[in-house]
Amino acid sequence: MRNDTNRQVILTSRPTDIPQAGHFELRESVVPEIGNGQFLLRNIYLSVDPAMRGWVSAVANYSEPVALGSVMRAISVGEVIESRHPDYAAGEVVCGLFGWQEFALSDGSEVWFKHDPALAPVSTALGVLGINGLTAYFGLLDVGQPKAGETVVVSTAAGAVGSAVGQLAKIQGCRTVGITGSDDKVALCREAFGYDAAVNYHADDLDSALAAACPDGIDVYFDNTAGRISDAVYRQLNVGARCAICGTASVSSWEPWPDGPRLERHLLVKRARAQGFLLFDFQDRFGEARTQLARWLNEGRLSYREDVLDGLEHAPGAIARLYAGENRGKLLIKLGDAPG
């Protein structure tokens, strides 16, 4: 189960835009020895997330930039293979910030939650039962507060977060409308994720396409994009609408800060709300949400897609792949098998 070599992906130069394979190097180091209060984790799946672009940026963000020469920060799920920590036992599966590497030493501070493989496959701890599903859950239900019969618009709708948002909104009894970036993904939204309608944001006239998809206006907007996609949505908000701002993926740079149509008047006239949120403000409720999400998953009401690359050597190019929209589901890198 254990060898002496720990292969790691190291950040070697700082991207100014989307991180590419060339910004990283594979390095071999020695698997560390554990001390008291520590455990050793064997990574099973590594996650590839849009947030990684921010993590390697020199610009201040939610967290400190990843230092040059160090292991790339990443969310992963793995098995505890040796422990001198009272809260973690060998054989347990945990999810957290263990980095793009085969083995990680931890004192527990990197752990987000334990995952019970009986609940759902280990890989879901990085997706629909991990930050993507949790982001959808709290952003939609707590910030967006959809009510049955309302229209919920999601940008972008076919991604790991958006696909969960659309399905959760459907479970709430809402009309769901997805905005996505290709005709293939429009079809995916309708067929795999149950959206009532889906719109390609490359449409010549996005306003008209959105109006046709939302004949009763828009009550809840789950926003992963900002920019011109959001501009079209804000023009069609209903009175009392709620916009949950989760990301700004369509805006390529905030230096210089971009202009757009002013939101204030839409918010005023429609008595609407726009609210940003951060998943980790809800950390004390992860257990509740994962239990509920697993129930819907096991009832067949929540489906997900994964795009799994096999082997650590795929990690360096994976962020660029994600930003190019080439993945068809949650992008994961598989390093090994689940326990048992």
Question: What residues line the site for a second copy (CB under 8 A)?
Answer: 62, 223, 226-227, 230, 245-248, 251, 254, 257-278, 281
Nearest approach in angstroms of CB 208 to a second copy is 17
Closest CA to 250 of 225, 276, 223: 225
Nearest approach in angstroms of CB 249 to a second copy is 11
Read off φ and ψ for residue 63, nearest 5 degrees: -135, 165
Q: Considering the complex, state which of residue 50 and residue 317 has its C-beta at the smaller distance from a second copy.
A: 50
What distance in Å separates the CA atoms of residue 147 and residue 144, rounded to the nearest whole number? Answer: 9
Sign of CA dihedral 291, 296, 297, 302: negative
Q: Give the CA distances from residue 144 to residues 158, 269, 274, 295, in Å, rounded to whole numbers and listed in that order.
A: 19, 19, 9, 21
Q: Considering the complex, state which of residue 6 and residue 230 has its C-beta at the smaller distance from a second copy.
A: 230
Closest CA to 217 of 287, 182, 266: 266
What distance in Å separates the CA atoms of residue 6 and residue 29, rounded to the nearest whole number? Answer: 5
Q: Considering the complex, state which of residue 78 and residue 146 has its C-beta at the smaller distance from a second copy.
A: 146
Spell out a b/e string for 42-51, using b for 16 or more CB atoms within 10 Å of the CB, else e. Answer: bbbbbbbbbb
Q: Considering the complex, state which of residue 277 and residue 308 has its C-beta at the smaller distance from a second copy.
A: 277
Nearest approach in angstroms of CB 147 to a second copy is 17
Bridge partner residues of 82 (DSSP): 40
Q: Considering the complex, state which of residue 215 and residue 256 has its C-beta at the smaller distance from a second copy.
A: 256
Nearest approach in angstroms of CB 231 to a second copy is 9
Q: Considering the complex, state which of residue 267 and residue 308 has its C-beta at the smaller distance from a second copy.
A: 267
Q: Considering the complex, state which of residue 1 and residue 268 has its C-beta at the smaller distance from a second copy.
A: 268
Q: Considering the complex, state which of residue 244 and residue 322 has its C-beta at the smaller distance from a second copy.
A: 244
Taking each helix axis from N to C end, the angle separating 160-171 and 286-298, rounded to the nearest 10 degrees, works out to 80
What distance in Å separates the CA atoms of residue 139 and residue 222, rounded to the nearest whole number? Answer: 7
Nearest approach in angstroms of CB 225 to a second copy is 9
Tokens of 214: 């939302």
Nearest approach in angstroms of CB 54 to a second copy is 10
In the three-class reduction of DSSP (H, G, I as helix; E, B as strand; rest coil), residue 65 is classed as coil
Nearest approach in angstroms of CB 247 to a second copy is 7
Listing DSSP states for 224-241 in one string gives: S--HHHHHHHHTTEEEEE
Q: Which helix (H) or strand (E) holds 276?
A: strand 273-276
Nearest approach in angstroms of CB 260 to a second copy is 5
Looking at residue 141, its amino acid is L
Cβ atoms < 10 Å from Cβ of 242: 21
Q: Considering the complex, state which of residue 200 and residue 248 has its C-beta at the smaller distance from a second copy.
A: 248
Nearest approach in angstroms of CB 75 to a second copy is 19
